[in-house]
Amino acid sequence: MKIISKRVGAIALATTLFAGSLGAMESGAIAQDQAQPIAAETGQNVIEAPQETVETAIRFVASEVVQDLPVEPADEPIEASTASSLRELVRTIDTDGTMSREITCLAQAVYFESRGEPLDGQLAVARVVINRADSNRFPDDYCSVVTQRAQFSFVRGGRIPQPNHGTAAWNRAKAIARIAHRDLWESPAGDALYFHATYVRPRWAGRMTMRTQIDSHIFYR
């Protein structure tokens, strides 16, 4: 479409903006643009980034939209932990209360990926999931991070299996998930986004910066 003059173009743009604003106010709807997350690689899988979807229409946001990670009802603001060790901190965490869907997904990732690892290793796995949710290279919530295709080997068909409820391992995983979510204990994994078991040597690891090794897992950024 050719623009006849700057004046005509400005008038047309102003008319379009005014009409779009009226439509948003009349419907009461607030549109939210979401970027297509880029698939990454982890474990033994190497994932190609999907082609980004091109927006075919301009959408106007009537007001700023801020989308935070959902907080479980039991997550009251608390002071920094005074525990002398992660093991001691785990013992202080209530694991009997109801967990939100997001914290449950985080705990399931800890359970299925690292329940046989030391507590530091379990916390590091939780930190990777949280770091991914905070990164614009991955989905923006814990459940979507965990169920992202070909990222975690325990996920089948986009579904997370049920852990063995009532076991000490599941209770520890729930405690670790809450500790990581509340950022109550520093993890040596730091800002890691990837990890793999020591018994595999994925090609992508050579392109990453190693953050730490904890028992049988190596963590990278």
Report the residue count for the chain: 221
Buried-exposed string 146-173: b where 16+ CB fall within 10 A, e elsewhere: bbbeebbeebeeeebeebeeeeeebbbb
Place of tokens 């202080």: 92
pLDDT at residue 151 in the model:
94
**Residues facing residue 197 across a β-bridge:** 217
Q: What is the pTM of this model?
A: 0.66
211 Rama class: left (phi>0) / alpha (psi -120 to 50) / beta: alpha
Report the C-alpha gap between 127 and 132 in whole angstroms: 8
Architecture of the domain made up of 86-220 = Orthogonal Bundle (1.10)
Q: What is the mean pLDDT of the chain?
A: 75
pLDDT at residue 13 in the model:
38
Report the C-alpha gap between 112 and 173 in whole angstroms: 9
pLDDT at residue 127 in the model:
98
pLDDT at residue 80 in the model:
54
Q: Return the DSSP state at 94.
A: -
Q: Return the DSSP state at 185.
A: S
Report the C-alpha gap between 175 and 87 in whole angstroms: 10
The domain segmentation of the chain, as residue ranges, is: 86-220
Report the C-alpha gap between 182 and 83 in whole angstroms: 14
pLDDT at residue 6 in the model:
38
pLDDT at residue 81 in the model:
67
Weakly modelled stretches of the chain, pLDDT under 70: 1-81
